[in-house]
């Protein structure tokens, strides 16, 4: 995961999920103004395909070399966690990404990845993107005191209080459509989120958590062991893998 996937995957996440433009029809005049310094539109439109192509390569290699379903699911699931974490961490602090139009675009890109997961029989991995999906819903929702229960309810249940506040602090209203968010409103949001955390008995450390763990790699779950009747004594590993010690143990 660290040597073969992370260094290739990481540079594809922001362009593929946050900057990819599926159609010029999605861009308003205000969006074009925000994106005028973001690079070639044509390259942005190819970036999601590039990300999906790399996921396809990883999946094909795992299945071609006989990877068990549990291994494939954990590898692709880890990639999904990395994608959500790095995209959300980047999005929270970029004002040009925290607006209504970008939320539609980002949600569309995430949906394309989730559709790919469904097609591969990995629908359980879709859930790893839920924090990013909820961030998009937050940006698309009505933001006024009468809607506090919705903003701080189930719609943002997978986001930490500080993450919700950070997104709203960087929210950039659509041109001439709405006013900016007042400090008083943000205080109300923070208070409501703290009440939610207490009611849900959330850990105290979650209250101040802001950054998602980016490329953190949790231990793989080896409990669902898949037995193989392959004669291991006939197994030959390429010397370039430097796994001679493993071969001796086998």
Is 33 domain-assigned? Answer: no
pLDDT range class, residue 150, cuts 50, 70, 90: very high
Global pTM reads 0.82
Is 46 domain-assigned? Answer: yes
Is 233 domain-assigned? Answer: no
Q: Tell me, what's the pLDDT at 37?
A: 47
Residue 27 has pLDDT above 70, yes or no: no
Q: Tell me what the mean pLDDT of segment 68-93 comes to.
A: 93
Is 180 domain-assigned? Answer: yes
Q: Tell me, what's the pLDDT at 175?
A: 67
148 to 59, 141, 145, 169, 219: CA distances (angstroms): 42, 11, 5, 15, 38
Structural domain containing residue 154: 1-21+41-216
Residue 206 has pLDDT above 70, yes or no: yes
Phi, then psi, of 98 in degrees rounded to 5: -100, 70
Is 17 domain-assigned? Answer: yes
Is 244 domain-assigned? Answer: no
232 or 132, greater pLDDT: 132
Distance CA 97, CA 91 (A): 6
Distance CA 230, CA 129 (A): 37
Kindly compute the dihedral angle of the four CA atoms of residues 102, 105, 109, 110, in this order, to the nearest 10 degrees. Answer: 60
Total domains, the chain: 1
Is 36 domain-assigned? Answer: no
| CATH number for the domain harbouring residue 175 | 1.20.58
Is 198 domain-assigned? Answer: yes
């Amino acid at each position: 995961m660290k040597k073969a996937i992370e260094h290739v995957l990481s540079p594809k996440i922001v362009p593929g999920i946050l900057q990819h433009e599926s159609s010029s029809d999605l861009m308003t005049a205000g969006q074009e103004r925000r994106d005028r310094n973001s690079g070639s539109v044509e390259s942005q439109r190819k970036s999601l395909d590039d990300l999906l192509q790399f996921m396809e390569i990883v999946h094909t290699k795992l299945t071609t070399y006989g990877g068990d379903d549990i291994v494939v699911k954990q590898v692709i699931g880890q990639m999904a966690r990395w994608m959500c974490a790095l995209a959300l961490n980047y999005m929270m602090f970029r004002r040009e990404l925290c607006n209504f139009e970008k939320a539609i675009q980002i949600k569309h890109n995430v949906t394309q990845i989730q559709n790919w997961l469904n097609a591969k029989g990995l629908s359980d991995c879709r859930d790893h993107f839920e924090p990013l999906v909820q961030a998009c819903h937050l940006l698309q929702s009505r933001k006024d005191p009468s809607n506090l229960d919705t903003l701080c309810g189930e719609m943002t249940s997978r986001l930490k209080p500080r993450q919700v506040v950070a997104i709203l602090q960087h929210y950039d209203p659509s041109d001439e459509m709405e006013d900016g968010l007042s400090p008083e409103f943000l205080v109300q949001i923070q208070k409501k989120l703290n009440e939610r955390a207490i009611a849900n008995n959330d850990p105290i450390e979650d209250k101040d958590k802001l950054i998602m763990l980016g490329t953190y790699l949790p231990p793989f779950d080896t409990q669902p062991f898949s037995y193989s009747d392959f004669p291991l004594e006939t197994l030959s590993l390429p010397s370039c893998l430097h796994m001679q010690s493993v071969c001796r143990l086998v």
